[in-house]
Structure 1
């Protein structure tokens, strides 16, 4: 089985930069350092309020990624807000549709595709992305019954919202949550979807998650990885996350 890819979310680098007007730390330099250390991709979530990455960052990172063939650029956000303009301009490898409100502190739930009007709003936007050659991933809760609906809309992948796993790590609920995520991944793959995962994954909970959840193609990690990099540096941090991934697939 091929190891899971690591995509580094650099939003928190931009958050620190935005507290001053000096242009440091550089989002582009951070992304390049992560790529040099072996990260398979870069993720950004350009929120409408621009508290993290800003529109220029999205374009600057697109220019960087063109110099790294084989690495993937993932832009995530709500497609009914500002996301689609970036997708049309940049044409990243992947667009991750996230159901965040404009003033949402952080992503905290996946799409409810059974809710009135949701599927009808998403379908033409998914179709447009695919016509642009952009893979579409839907941010979803770990609910096996919802995966067929995601595929029916034309999505290529789902990104499982992993905060419930992170919250359960080290508690009596850990095994139950792992089984829940494994069931959702199997349901997604059975429906013909690829599986990504992200939110609050870290160096402690990543390896057991990947051991227990089959076939995860990509993990997107931002907050914990950037926090670790403050102590360890980008190179050592990315390499340690890659070690965590490799350990999940080590059969020795």
Structure 2
């Protein structure tokens, strides 16, 4: 293995990138500056198991060593800490503690006429709608008999707007989430466009890298001989 796919996190960013195992830690820091905004001399690099399991494996503290010296594996996490936030202004876009908050009592909110609640009242929407005589029918779910675990697939993530992502079917069946029932398709995406690692609300349906898992209805899935989408490997 000449390269490794790693997660990279900092106080303001998260990404997934591929790096050559022969790159030195010094050169790696320069590449990480473009991803995190933290200058190389302010970086403190920690190799962890993953984003979901932040167990520390080693500190990448020798700039002369190659990345491969620390034996990183695909899916592991490099946590980039900032030793001198004054240089990079780390956290300035995520720290909202100094932002003045606008507060309003429930009574004041109900008296206003320019709110979502006022609009719903006027148009009898949501909880202000008249009670229906009959409960709405459960929306139909497309049959999924042609979708089997292990199939390569394309998933429409845009509702018809052209955002199609590829992956592998890892689960077919009913779940403990979703109020309307029916079947769900669990997909392991080739790219980190998912919302989970195959588990939802504490229930595991399959296992994959964090942010690569997702669940969609069968009508969003098209199975076929779709090759795996490759992430671009950064050059030294």
* TM interval, short-chain normalised: under 0.3
RCO higher in 1 or 2 (8 Å CA, sep ≥ 6)?
Answer: 1
More strand by share: 2
TM-score scaled by structure 1? 0.19
TM-score scaled by structure 2? 0.20
More helix by share: 1
Q: Which structure has the larger Rg?
A: 2
